[in-house]
């Protein structure tokens, strides 16, 4: 029979001191009620996914896939029906040909905007990689090159919406509004589904025909509802984040109004072809099973984020969300105020990985970003951020963004390993070590 001493010895073999392990246990003892609520949400969402699969008549034949043109791909077409049912939308586009979340967002924007239209972000600056898609930073093929203009309204100091600023920004050329649910490389709060619904209702009250798109990355299955149930015309995301359940090897999705999804399909493939082509190439079992597992995998990642928030908040670092706030995505931001803190944290995450644990992550000039970025991601699927991972720009305020963990024990190991590494490198103060008997 395994007891706590045996488990503690396992952590010791990972280089985690007894004092750090006990500090983690102390934090976990306060989180039981939060974790039970997460499990209830996961149960609700698990039943929702199963019901969607049953309604769509998912069969063994759906797992076979196609090659070549992909005509009459039963599994691909049925999977899109499942996604539409899960997100309660008219249609969905779910394809391995969508290479990443940025590609899915670019596809949704470029297919539904035309020269002379204006794109509005009412939630401030978008995620870094979208800056080149939009043309905020010059890039080949950007929306700006096609004569599509951009306007943004920053959030208020308290993180709320600047409703008067939004009202003033909406004009005759405003065709599409993009709402980023998660924080990106910012330390603002993530938006809840309810908040997104309120914002969309306000915008539609001013201009009913405007398209409201939500960047849903990192937010799927965190709540029992999705932004598409709160008025969004499109929700967009990556399959190597929450909805892929850690099994999807590639892909993205766009779920929403039929006309918006059709526009995206014609842009992804070709006018006249749309959703009729696009072979699934043997990935369908992973896409189906990944979606099946997504609610419980997301729950594990959420528990890891809450554990991290409480670990670092009590040390004295600024965390967003804080240890007690409600959660609306799986990302946990921790501000260290120095490059050394960000790097040490990422080194700890990498050292806890099952894949490439021997690799030391270093900052580098990553495509799509305007500063060096460090990424720790020893993953079974390269770049999968539903797996245990952390990243951040090497720029003020020097915050790291932690996410993922296919299982909570892995997320727990990663967080304890980061704390141990920060202590070993002197980022955590001696005063805290004395207070917690960690010296």
> Which positions of the chain have pLDDT values less than 70?
1, 430-439
**Helix axis angle, 18-28 to 284-313, nearest 10°:** 100
* Residue-by-residue DSSP string for 318-355: EEES-TTS--SSS-EEEE-SSHHHHHHHHHHHHHT-SS
Distance from C-alpha of 305 to C-alpha of 415, rounded to nearest angstrom: 9
> What local confidence, expressed as pLDDT, does residue 3 receive?
85
Nearest to 268 by CA among 113, 93, 139, 89: 93
> What local confidence, expressed as pLDDT, does residue 186 receive?
78
Q: In this predicted model, what pLDDT tens digit does every residue of 39-73 receive, in sequence order?
A: 999 999 999 999 999 999 999 999 999 999 999 99
Residue for token pair 């720790």: 376
Residues near 210 by Cβ (< 8 Å), separated by ≥ 6? 170, 174, 175, 176, 177, 203, 204
> What local confidence, expressed as pLDDT, does residue 430 receive?
59
- Give the H/E segment covering residue 435: helix 430-435
- Paired tokens of 308: 């991290």
Residues near 260 by Cβ (< 8 Å), separated by ≥ 6? 108, 111, 112, 211, 233, 234, 254
User: What are the counts of helices (DSSP H) followed by strands (DSSP E) for the chain?
Assistant: 13, 12
> What local confidence, expressed as pLDDT, does residue 433 receive?
57
Residue for token pair 């949400």: 41
Nearest to 193 by CA among 328, 41, 331, 39: 328
* Residue-by-residue DSSP string for 204-233: HHH-TT-EEEEE-TTTTTTSSS-GGGGT-S
> What local confidence, expressed as pLDDT, does residue 438 receive?
55
> What local confidence, expressed as pLDDT, does residue 436 receive?
59
Q: List C-alpha distances in Å: 348 to 342, 344, 363, 411, 436.
A: 10, 6, 15, 11, 20
Q: Where are the beta strands (DSSP E) in 35-153?
A: 91-95, 118-121, 149-152
Quickly list H helices, 88-228.
Answer: 101-112, 128-134, 163-169, 193-206
Alpha carbon 51 to chain centroid, angstroms: 24
Residue for token pair 């004009």: 171
> What local confidence, expressed as pLDDT, does residue 377 receive?
86
> What local confidence, expressed as pLDDT, does residue 77 receive?
98
**Structural contact between residues 228 and 89, judged by C-beta atoms closer than 8 angstroms:** yes
Coil vs helix vs strand at 390? strand
Q: In this predicted model, what pLDDT tens digit does every residue of 242-293 receive, in sequence order?
A: 999 999 999 999 999 999 999 999 999 999 999 999 999 999 999 999 999 9
> What local confidence, expressed as pLDDT, does residue 370 receive?
77
> What local confidence, expressed as pLDDT, does residue 439 receive?
46
- Paired tokens of 162: 């600047």
Domains of the chain plus CATH, in order, are 4-44+292-435 (3.90.1150.60), 65-283 (3.40.640.10)
């Amino acid at each position: 029979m395994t007891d706590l001493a045996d488990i503690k010895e396992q952590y010791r073999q990972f280089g985690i001191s007894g004092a750090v392990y006990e500090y983690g246990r102390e934090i976990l003892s306060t989180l039981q009620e939060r974790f039970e609520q997460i499990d209830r949400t996961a149960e609700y969402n698990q039943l929702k996914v199963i019901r969607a699969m049953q309604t769509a008549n998912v069969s063994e034949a759906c797992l076979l896939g196609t090659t070549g043109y992909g005509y009459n791909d039963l599994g691909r077409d049925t999977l899109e029906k499942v996604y539409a049912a899960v997100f309660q939308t008219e249609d969905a586009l779910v394809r391995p040909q969508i290479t990443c979340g940025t590609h899915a967002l670019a596809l949704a924007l470029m297919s539904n905007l035309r020269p002379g239209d204006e794109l509005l972000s009412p939630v401030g600056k978008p995620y870094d990689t979208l800056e080149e898609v939009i043309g905020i930073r010059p890039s080949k093929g950007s929306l700006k090159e096609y004569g599509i203009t951009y306007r943004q309204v920053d959030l208020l100091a308290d993180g709320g919406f600047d409703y008067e600023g939004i009202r003033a920004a909406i004009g005759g050329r405003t065709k599409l509004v993009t709402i980023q649910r998660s924080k990106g490389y910012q330390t603002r709060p993530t938006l809840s589904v309810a908040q997104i619904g309120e914002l969309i209702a306000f915008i539609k009250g001013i201009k009913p025909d405007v398209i409201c798109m939500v960047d849903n990355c990192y937010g799927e299955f965190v709540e029992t509802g999705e932004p598409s149930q709160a008025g969004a015309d499109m929700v967009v995301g990556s399959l190597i984040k929450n909805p892929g359940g850690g099994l999807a090897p590639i892909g993205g999705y766009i779920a929403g109004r039929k006309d918006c999804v059709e526009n995206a399909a014609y842009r992804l493939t070709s006018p006249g072809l749309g959703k009729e082509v696009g072979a699934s190439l043997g990935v369908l079992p992973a896409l189906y099973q990944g979606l099946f597992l997504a609610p419980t995998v997301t729950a594990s990642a959420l528990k890891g984020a809450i554990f991290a928030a409480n670990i670092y908040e009590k040390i004295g670092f600024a965390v967003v969300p804080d240890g007690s706030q409600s959660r609306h995505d799986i990302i946990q931001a921790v501000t260290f105020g120095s490059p050394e803190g960000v790097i040490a944290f990422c080194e700890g995450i990498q050292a806890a990985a099952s894949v490439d644990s021997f690799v030391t992550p270093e900052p580098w000039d990553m495509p799509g970003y305007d500063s060096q970025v460090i990424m720790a991601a020893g993953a079974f699927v390269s770049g999968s951020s539903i797996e245990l991972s952390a990243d951040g720009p090497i720029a003020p305020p020097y915050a790291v963004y932690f996410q993922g963990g296919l299982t909570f024990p892995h997320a727990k190991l990663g967080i304890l390993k980061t704390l141990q590494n920060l202590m070993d490198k002197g980022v955590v103060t001696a005063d805290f070590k004395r207070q917690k008997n960690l010296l």
